[in-house]
Amino acid sequence: MPRTLLEVGPAPFGPGRAVYATRTIPADTLLMDAPLLLVPAAQRDDLTRTVVDDYVYEWDEDGTAALVLGISSICNHADEPNAFLWLYPEDTSAQLWTTSRIRAGEEVTVSYRADGRPDPLWFEDARDDRAG
C-alpha cells in the first residue's frame, strides 16, 4: 500500500502534470499543510517574466505574491473541484482539504477562481477540448 495519499503523474488532458490520490480519501481530509514563500511587490515584475508566475497567488493590495511550497501547486483547475486550498495569512501557510470523496487514481483538483466567483480564467482549459 502506498505510504502517501498523493502522487504526481502526467496530466489527463494536454501537457503538464497532475496530482492523483493513491487510495480512496474521504471528504474533509487534510491533504497538505505547507508554508508559503512571499514575493515582495518590488520583485513582482521580475516574477511575471518567469514560469513561476503561473503558480502564485495575489497576496495583498501592495502587490505581494505568494507561492505555496507544496504539492497543491501541481493541482489542476476544475469548475467542480474535489479539493480546496485555504491560505492562512496569520502563519503564512496553506492547507489543501478534500471537499468530496476522492477515489484511488482520481485526479485531485482545485478551482483557480477566487472565492468561487465565475471570473474568466487566464488560460484555455485543456479539459474543454475533450468533447471536440
Question: Could you tell me the CATH number of the domain that includes residue 99?
Answer: 2.170.270.10
Does 47 reside within a domain? yes
Q: How many domains does the chain have?
A: 1
Does 105 reside within a domain? yes
Residue 80 CB coordination number (10 Å): 8
Does 102 reside within a domain? yes
pLDDT band of residue 3 (cuts 50, 70, 90) is: confident
**What residues contact residue 54 under an 8 Å CB cut-off, 6+ apart?**
none
In degrees rounded to 5, what are phi and psi of residue 45?
-60, -40
pLDDT band of residue 114 (cuts 50, 70, 90) is: low
Does 126 reside within a domain? no
Q: What is the mean pLDDT of the chain?
A: 87
Residues 103 and 107: their CA atoms lie apart, in Å, by 9
pLDDT at 111: 87
DSSP state of 113: S
